[in-house]
Structure 1
Amino acid sequence: MKSLILTLLFVSITTLSFAQGTSYGVRGAFNISNLDFDPDATFDNQHRNGFAFGGFVDYGISDNFSILAELQYSAEGGKHETLKADYIQLPIMARFAIGNKFTFGAGPMLSLKTWADQDGFSTLTFSGVGGLEYMITDELFIDARVHYGLSNILDKDLTDVEAQNTTFQFGFGIKI
């Protein structure tokens, strides 16, 4: 056990020491999300407006490439009370700088449900995430992201219907 901890500590320190620049920060966002059902829903399926907030670490690999890992809370799903889905999410994005102000990123995202009274939903879902960030100053930024669900968010043991979550986020943040 000691050797495992020492190895992980060594790898972490080595990785951080080779990074071109590591930045930390916080981010908040406005969400517009919807559920896509297969077969199509037999009811009025309306989008849900929500919010997201969290913290991130951006590991600079080179001047134009970095890896961003974020831990965020996000209110998603549909507008109807039984379709609201709140998650703790872990997006990990490979990011490429486009000039001095813009950064494009894409990658996978894991989501863990946070609501206990909705047993018809899967506990863990997988999505793809992509986005564009604009630096207003050296610390402040705005961004736009899209999360596209790649896995069924409904429990397959309880229903034959499948649903994927699609979310658009319009965010702002600060690098510390």
Structure 2
Amino acid sequence: MKKLLLIAAVAVMGSSAYAQEFRFGPKAGFAMSTMKIDENQDDLGKRSMDPKYTFYIGGMAEYKINDNFGFQAELLYSPLGAKEKIDGINAGIMFVGEQTKVNLGTVLVPISAKYFITEGLSVAAGANFGVILSAKQKTVIGSDFADMEIEGESGEVDIKDDIKKLNIAPFVGVEYMFENGFFIDGRYSMGVSNLSNDGSGGKVTNSFAQIGVGFKFGGN
């Protein structure tokens, strides 16, 4: 009986060890970033937020516990942000509007749990921990006749002191990996951290969607 139990234990350990896989590799893709600003607005025109279309690049590591479950960690860089547009108002004889572009140079550390529906198809849920390395804003005043950059010679100012450094964004995603290790994935991250650091009482959040490709090395 003891021999049978020992053989069964060895068999289970062997099958578990076989099921474990470690893969790693590069990934890159396209990102659509938006920012939401909740604060009291004046009556000078209509304020709206437009997405910023940008990229991300980095690497990933995946540890598959068994045929159905695994974990994944990544290290990515992405210049996130958004565009803020105030539609034109009448200013005397001119029709004047304003557009502001916010650029957040962000290092992202997504950590997720994965469920493998099939060997190649998986879904994931986790959180993006974003460290904002740089924050810049460029404002352009537009009229019927010309556009004029403001706030400095190039129109771009450093707003790093007004932005908090950590952006936490829970996410869900889906991935399909081919037999050769090439994969495509997509996810949406919803920003929950208040990035405003100016003491005005307003709330600023950054959310983003990503779709991209990569390649995984390793595995059995």
Band the TM-score falls in, shorter-chain normalisation = 0.7 to 0.9
Unaligned runs of 5+ in 2: 1-16, 85-99, 136-157
1:39-58 alignment, distance < 5 Å: 39=39, 43-58=47-62
Q: Equivalent residue for 2:94?
A: none
Instruction: Tell me the distance in 1 between the aligned counterparts of 2:165 and 2:67.
Output: 38
Q: 2:195 is paired with a residue of what secondary structure?
A: coil
Pair 1:74 & 2:78 matched = yes
CA displacement at 1:100 relative to structure 2: 2.4
Instruction: Tell me the distance in 2 between the aligned counterparts of 1:40 and 1:96.
Output: 43
Instruction: Tell me the distance in 2 between the aligned counterparts of 1:125 and 1:18.
Output: 38
The one-letter amino acid paired with 1:44 is: S
The one-letter amino acid paired with 1:69 is: A
Q: 1:138 is paired with a residue of what secondary structure?
A: coil
Pair 1:62 & 2:66 matched = yes
The structure richer in strand per residue is: 2
The one-letter amino acid paired with 2:167 is: T
TM-score with structure 1 length normalisation?
Answer: 0.82
Instruction: Tell me the distance in 1 between the aligned counterparts of 2:179 and 2:29.
Output: 18
Instruction: Tell me the distance in 2 between the aligned counterparts of 1:167 and 1:73.
Output: 13
Structure 1 ranges of 4+ moved more than 4 A: none
Post-superposition CA distance 1:45-77 (Å, at most 9, x none): 211001001111101111111110001001211
Instruction: Tell me the distance in 1 between the aligned counterparts of 2:168 and 2:134.
Output: 17
User: Are residues 171 and 40 of structure 1, via their aligned partners in 2, closer, same or farther at CA, if it must alter by over 3 Å?
Assistant: farther
Q: Equivalent residue for 1:160?
A: 201
Instruction: Tell me the distance in 2 between the aligned counterparts of 1:138 and 1:107.
Output: 26
Instruction: Tell me the distance in 2 between the aligned counterparts of 1:166 and 1:101.
Output: 28
Q: 1:151 is paired with a residue of what secondary structure?
A: coil
Question: RMSD across aligned C-alpha pairs, in angstroms?
Answer: 2.1
Q: How many residues were matched structurally?
A: 159
TM-score with structure 2 length normalisation?
Answer: 0.66
User: Are residues 18 and 164 of structure 1, via their aligned partners in 2, closer, same or farther at CA, if it must alter by over 3 Å?
Assistant: farther
Candidates 108, 116, 132, aligned match of 1:97 = 116
CA displacement at 1:39 relative to structure 2: 3.0
Unaligned runs of 5+ in 1: 1-16
Instruction: Tell me the distance in 2 between the aligned counterparts of 1:79 and 1:126.
Output: 20
CA displacement at 1:18 relative to structure 2: 9.2
The one-letter amino acid paired with 2:63 is: Y
Work out which of the two has the higher radius of gyration on C-alpha atoms and give 1 or 2. 2
User: Are residues 100 and 78 of structure 1, via their aligned partners in 2, closer, same or farther at CA, if it must alter by over 3 Å?
Assistant: same
% identical aligned pairs: 30
Pair 1:115 & 2:157 matched = no
Q: 1:56 is paired with a residue of what secondary structure?
A: strand
Q: 2:179 is paired with a residue of what secondary structure?
A: coil
Q: Equivalent residue for 1:22?
A: 22
The one-letter amino acid paired with 1:74 is: S
Q: Equivalent residue for 1:37?
A: 37
CA displacement at 1:114 relative to structure 2: 1.4
